Structure 1
Amino acid sequence: MCATLNFSASDDSNLSSADPHGLEGPTPRSIKVSIIIVLGVMITLGNIAVLLVITSSVAGWSRSSRHFLLSLTAADSAFGLLVMPLNLWVSLQKDHTDGPDAFCHVVAFCNATVYSTCMYTLATISLERYVAVFYPLQYSSLMTKRRTLLLIAFAWCFPPFLLSPISFPDGIIEVHFSTASLVCNPSYSTNVAYSLSLTCVIFFPCSIVMTYANLRVWCAAKRQRLKMRKYARRTRHNVASRVLVPVMAAYYTCWTPCMAAMIYNAVSGSSVPEWIEFVVVWLPTSNGFLNCIFYFWINRSFRRKFHLVLQRLALALCPRLASTIGCCSTTNTRFVSVIVDNNNVVHERSASVSSTCTLLSMA
């Protein structure tokens, strides 16, 4: 949704006048393209690593949890595999003096849909973890497979329905290619009520759900940690603070500037400086890479399973290299089979979703 910003095309003169022949160094346009490509590669590689792990069972993660995390990984992967290539293609092929066209409407629709789906998916994950922590005994009945798939379907199907007016070339929303942010942007300044309603239906509800659910889990974990100090000198690491605080900080850092700029542009009808526009438009895509860190790499079970997957790939792709190690290959193979069996056993559990669930005592 964050790529739904539209700023004035007056920035064309800034880019055209800034070393058009590239004789004095890289132009702002080439720098922006390089930043987008590097960010897209990081997001794609990070989510590929995540997919390699969560497509199989991970200790401590229920089936519902894996479905939600797969949905988040797919939404984050769309940043690097769909949003960035489409906008870079338009920026390289489109004549920026031309007006809006049908293809730019399609690109803007894809941008807004992917951004909105990512926010809804983050909200559903927070809701599922809240249920897992505070209702562990009713988790299996509350988070059934049918309800899980319905929540995921809502996160993926509702944004296209809500944002469908963007895809029509002759609709109520005008779309132009922005040379400042290198994206196809709908012009919400022509329809202020529609743009404000989008933030009220997408950003604010998702932010409220995430904030409430994660704050409740964090407070409960803190109370439990204080109780445990009375009976033990050494307590576990504060997993809730290590996971929940970075997740919420990254979410608001990446999404709030974009939403604020969109509301400012819709209400005032004026644009923001070129580089500020570029940063606020592309900053939410970095959340697709940060999610890989906060939701996955902090989890010890995920790291162990990732090392196991790499080990199995190395044995499958390089058997000669494995044989040079000696008897370690046989030992590693047996170790792999044992770990997989253990993970499959743990995988059938439908209790807590993440390590934060173990912080609470429901006595």
Structure 2
Amino acid sequence: MYTTLFNLSSLGESNLSGVDPQRLQDLAHRPVKISIIIVLGVLVTLGNIAVLLVITSSVAGWSRNSRYFLLSLAAADSAFGLLVMPLNLWVSLIKDYTEGPDALCHVVAFCNATIYSTCVYTLATISLERYIAVFYPLQYGTILTRQRTLLLISFAWCFPPVLLLPVLFPDGIIAVHFSTASLVCNPAYSTNVGYSLSLACVIFFPCSFIMTYTNLSVWCVAKRQRMKLRKFYCARRQRHNVASRVLVPVMGAYYACWTPCMAAMIYNALSGSSVPEWIEFVVVWLPTSNGFLNCIFYFWINRSFRRKFRYVLQKFAESLCPRLVNSLLFRSTSKAQFDSGYLDNNNIVHERSSSVSSTCTLLSLA
């Protein structure tokens, strides 16, 4: 694969003798960038497929609405590796860089912007659901009914395509170009200033405000409750600082991955010039890495999810090679089956989910 990529790069450079040096430099770095994108795509895809395999079935302590929202998030993150990356890599290998924008680039740019926007809206809906679960636990079932939950998820998936529909038309008002620096088909933000600013005001800033306000409120409540519990020795020794362990990494990863991309987009729109090559590559693909970090912060640090994943992995391995599994990997099969069955029956109180109401139990102790 790597030999083919290098040959393609050399072929592209030999056919672009009249192109400016900056473009030739972008093409020379293309094999390295493609390798980074492939590795990132594999991590995002495998991580979210594992998540989907687990949460399609019941997980102890996770409500139905929680699973719906988290399934939506895992599906949106999976689309990064299954749709966004293959499309852009395909265009980067077949496109003649001396040509201008084409219909294919507009379709790819539409898919890119739609998936990115859906992911941001989904993160905002999860934060909103967490806020309701913590501050209105008794009214949770009446506020977030199954119908309203599905409506929120539908909005996160259906509104971005409608909002971004002008990107789809080659001869429309939105100009699209393929960037050899980031290997992505994107709207030309320097020539679409109004579109760039509107996109930031409609998607990024409102969702960031919702996430910041809801997560900060939950964190403050959890901190106050933890201060009350400090007077009890057993509570101090056994309770984990859920707010610091979950909410802080979630918000830190979100802003670290999305803020540079939005800042570069706004800078390109206002200044009319682009950022340096590698900076553009990093800030464009950083939001994709958030799809992998979500697997860690929303799922893998949750005890119930890890136990259910081990149970699913055990069943899958037993179906392939039961003798080897029983002899080498799963010597404590009976104990694992007891734990998983005990958890699935929800007979004891566990953490519902890292992303939903981890601090709800803390509030009930007040």
Structure 1 gap ranges (5+): 1-10, 21-26
Number of residue pairs matched by the alignment: 344
Query: Counterpart in 1 of 2:173?
Result: 172
Find the partner of 1:248 among 234, 251, 267: 251
Find the partner of 1:296 among 296, 299, 315: 299
Query: Counterpart in 2 of 1:16?
Result: 24
> 2: distance between equivalents of 1:145 and 1:175?
39
| 1:273–1:164 Cα change, 3 Å | same
Find the partner of 1:279 among 277, 282, 289: 282
Contact map agreement 1:224 1:360 (CA 8 A) in 2:
yes
Query: Would you say 1:70 and 2:71 are equivalent positions?
Result: yes
Trace 1:120-131 onto structure 2 (pairs within 5 A).
120-131=121-132
> 1: distance between equivalents of 2:215 and 2:361?
15
Query: Would you say 1:238 and 2:241 are equivalent positions?
Result: yes
Deviations along 1:129-159, one digit per CA (max 9) or x if unpaired, are 1001111111111111100000000000000
> 2: distance between equivalents of 1:344 and 1:181?
48
> 2: distance between equivalents of 1:312 and 1:216?
40
Structure 2 SS opposite 1:176: strand
Structure 2 SS opposite 1:177: strand
The CA RMSD measured in Å over matched residues stands at: 2.4
Q: TM-score, normalised by structure 1?
A: 0.89
Query: Counterpart in 2 of 1:227?
Result: 228
Deviations along 1:266-308, one digit per CA (max 9) or x if unpaired, are 1111111001100110011000000000000111111111111
Residue range with higher mean Cα deviation, 332-341 or 65-74: 332-341
> 2: distance between equivalents of 1:51 and 1:348?
24
Shift of 1:189: 2.5
| 1:290–1:17 Cα change, 3 Å | closer
- Give the % identical residues: 75
| 1:240–1:187 Cα change, 3 Å | same
Structure 2 SS opposite 1:355: coil
Shift of 1:337: 6.4
Query: Would you say 1:187 and 2:195 are equivalent positions?
Result: no
Q: Which amino acid aligns with 2:221?
A: A
Q: TM-score, normalised by structure 2?
A: 0.88
Contact map agreement 1:68 1:125 (CA 8 A) in 2:
yes
Shift of 1:320: 2.5
Structure 2 gap ranges (5+): 1-18
> 2: distance between equivalents of 1:142 and 1:258?
34
> 2: distance between equivalents of 1:309 and 1:139?
30
Structure 1 SS opposite 2:190: helix
> 1: distance between equivalents of 2:92 and 2:63?
43
Query: Counterpart in 2 of 1:306?
Result: 309
Contact map agreement 2:61 2:346 (CA 8 A) in 1:
no
Shift of 1:322: 3.6
Q: Which amino acid aligns with 1:36?
A: I
Query: Counterpart in 1 of 2:151?
Result: 150
Contact map agreement 2:268 2:274 (CA 8 A) in 1:
yes
Query: Counterpart in 2 of 1:111?
Result: 112
Query: Counterpart in 2 of 1:320?
Result: 323
Query: Counterpart in 1 of 2:360?
Result: 357
Find the partner of 1:270 among 270, 273, 276: 273
| 1:197–1:315 Cα change, 3 Å | same
Contact map agreement 2:200 2:262 (CA 8 A) in 1:
yes
Trace 1:20-39 onto structure 2 (pairs within 5 A).
27-39=28-40
Query: Counterpart in 2 of 1:96?
Result: 97
Q: Which amino acid aligns with 1:114?
A: I
Structure 1 SS opposite 2:214: helix
Contact map agreement 1:124 1:151 (CA 8 A) in 2:
yes
> 1: distance between equivalents of 2:186 and 2:347?
46
> 1: distance between equivalents of 2:223 and 2:349?
29
Shift of 1:309: 1.0
Structure 2 SS opposite 1:224: helix
> 2: distance between equivalents of 1:346 and 1:155?
34
> 2: distance between equivalents of 1:344 and 1:114?
36
Shift of 1:312: 1.1
> 2: distance between equivalents of 1:89 and 1:128?
38
> 1: distance between equivalents of 2:284 and 2:72?
23
> 1: distance between equivalents of 2:327 and 2:180?
55
Query: Counterpart in 1 of 2:7?
Result: none
